[in-house]
Chain A
Amino acid sequence: MDQIWQDSIDRLNARRENVLAAGGAERIAKQHASGKLTARERMEALFDDGTFVELNDQITSRCSDFGMDKKKRMGDGVVTGYGYIHGRVAFASSQDFTVGGGSLGEAQAMKICKAMDKAMEMKAPFISINDSGGARIEEGIDSLTGYADIFYRNTIASGVIPQISVIMGPCAGGACYSPAITDFIFMTDYSQMYITGPAVVKSVTGEVITSADLGGAAVHSSTSGVAHFVYPDDLSCLNGVRQLLGYLPQSNEDFSLEVPGTAVDNSANLSSIVPADSKKAYDVRNVINTIVDENSFFEVQEAFARNIIIGFGRIDGETIGIIANQALFMAGSLEINASDKASRFIRFCDSFNIPLLTLVDVPAFLPGSQQEHGGIIRHGAKLLYAYSEATVPKVGLIMRKAYGGAYIAMNSKGTGADVVYAWPIAEIAVMGGSGAVSIIGKKAIEAAEDPAAKREELLAEYNDKFMNPYIAAEHGYVDEVILPEETRTKIAEAFNMLKSKDRTLPYKKHGNIPL
């Protein structure tokens, strides 16, 4: 080998070592000491073993203001590239907190955008691992434009490829809006997301609050609904991402992988799980787990709006999205947060060809001034819109109550449900018997010699006539009244029949969902 070759190779190796050194041994040790992995270690954990390929490792900031020429490092605080997850290609970026606190400048943004563009070209999922102090102040408006470039791509890619954000450190200010546009947000216990941090909150409003109370994982998974999944550490969190991707297709032009699992039909247990008395609560997760393939249910937003359950599962190995009223909380009634939670999930599934199963046991939209003033009309409308707009196979099962507007909103036949089943204990009506009799029997009760007896008589008549699934079946709003033990078989049959469903909506630029 001549000297020119040798010098060139030495120079490349030195540059490679510089890239891999990231922020230096001391900062890497600090990252490890706080229980966090480095950006490259996270990539290794995310992708199938040995498959991660780094791209643009030598991109460097062009900024020289405020001493940046002395601080700049190759890679510019982010690792990007591709690899395989369950044998399928995916692209990712991983901010490197050891390099300038992972702050985002022009070059970092460009690097992330290049990986996003490649993901779109390849029609493959994009995963963004966030661990950054925010915009790189030294780079001024170029940093902000960098964020805008990312948000723009997030928006264009929405509904085309699955986009997943993983928050593994701070994510503050405008940086929050990229995750917010993506499909799912994972957080670790020690991560935070907020538009303005505790110091700014205190200086502007006087409110004293900790980072965790303001924007920690617990708050975002239960109160704000921003986060979809929370895990205690980096490794379990990235395993969660791998698990989720196992349910998703590569893009809107693809279908989810078929994953043969154990299919045990325990539907005969359903009549023991769901009490016939509609006032008694039960955990609808037990119904879901009975219907889907064994251990296949993967719940989304577990701690937020617990009156509705959403998640992925498999029937005969094929992915479905599940929406179910949860009788354990607020009797399963619908309110603002539940409407938002379910609507967004339905739209995700519809975007990515994932059929929907809806399990209905809903007494009403939650009444009250808090809900009305909070805009339940606007939020509840999202649910109707999302179901009506969805063209994927839509199968429903009315288990017990299905009253009024909430009945309509939960995948009713009128909003385009393909197949609707009901159990014989189902009650499909405008409202429950007691409320109905108070309205339609008001005059008769007041005029009766024995108002209490008259009320009971009318209630019995109402219950006999309306509090069952048969009028709905007679009028075609329920396709079949089925026995509990037939449930899994009937649902699987319906999805199988609907595999070739081909329904398109009229051309439009896009709809105008009530936001």
Chain B
Amino acid sequence: MDEQLIVAMAVACIAEENGVDTKHVVVRSFKEVQKSSLEQYIADKGISYHKYQLGE
């Protein structure tokens, strides 16, 4: 996905969540979230990992 499409989808989500028109959502900055070091390590090593959550 290119940057513009990602931003458009994010705007749509925010607008829907807040019940406002997309015209009223202004994008001031855009920062791509990188994989964390741990996520990268798990991906690189091909580890099967699921973080324990209460109630499991």
Contact = CB atoms under 8 A, between A and B. Distances in A.
Contacts of B49: 235
Nearest to A44: B38
A412 B2 CA distance: 70
Contact of A242 (B36, B37, B51): B51
Nearest to B53: A86
Given A41-B37, A41-B38, A44-B38, A257 B54 contact: yes
Interface in A243-297: 243, 246, 257, 259-261
A28 to B, nearest CB: 8
Nearest to A242: B52
A45 B54 contact: no
Contacts of B53: 86, 242
Contact of A243 (B36, B41, B42, B52): B52
A48 to B, nearest CB: 8
Contacts of B42: 235
Contacts of A40: 37
Nearest to B44: A32
The range of chain B's interface size is: 10 to 19
Given A37-B38, A38-B37, A40-B37, A45 B55 contact: no
Looking at B42, B49, B54, B55, which has the most chain A CB atoms within 10 Å of its CB? B54
Interface residues of A, number: 19
B55 A261 contact: yes
A261 B51 CA distance: 19
A324 B55 CA distance: 24
B37 A45 contact: no
> Which DSSP category, helix, strand, loop or mixed, fits chain B's interface?
loop
Contact of A239 (B36, B41, B52, B55): B52
B11 to A, nearest CB: 22
22 contacts: A37-B38, A38-B37, A40-B37, A41-B36, A41-B38, A41-B41, A44-B38, A45-B38, A45-B51, A86-B53, A86-B54, A235-B47, A235-B49, A242-B51, A242-B53, A246-B52, A246-B54, A246-B55, A259-B54, A259-B55, A260-B55, A261-B55
A45 B38 CA distance: 8
Contacts of A49: 51
Interface of B: 36-38, 41-42, 47, 49, 51-55
A282 B52 CA distance: 31
Nearest to A50: B36
A357 B53 CA distance: 25
Contacts of A44: 36-38
Contacts of A257: 54
Interface of A: 32, 37-38, 40-41, 44-45, 49, 86, 235, 239-240, 242-243, 246, 257, 259-261
Contacts of A246: 52, 54-55
Contacts of B51: 45, 49, 239, 242
A41 B53 CA distance: 18
B33 to A, nearest CB: 10
A340 B37 CA distance: 41
A45 B49 CA distance: 10
B52 A37 contact: no
Contacts of A38: 37
Contacts of B38: 37, 41, 44-45
Contacts of A235: 42, 47, 49
A488 B29 CA distance: 58
B55 A37 contact: no
A261 B41 CA distance: 33
Given A41-B37, A257-B54, A261-B55, 20 more contacts: A37-B38, A37-B41, A41-B38, A41-B41, A44-B36, A45-B38, A45-B51, A86-B54, A235-B47, A239-B52, A240-B52, A242-B51, A242-B52, A242-B53, A243-B52, A246-B52, A246-B54, A246-B55, A259-B55, A260-B55
A114 B38 CA distance: 26
A164 to B, nearest CB: 14
Nearest to B48: A235
Given A44-B36, A235-B47, A235-B49, A32 B41 contact: yes
A359 B47 CA distance: 40
A242 B50 CA distance: 12
A260 B55 CA distance: 7
Contacts of A37: 38, 41
A250 to B, nearest CB: 14
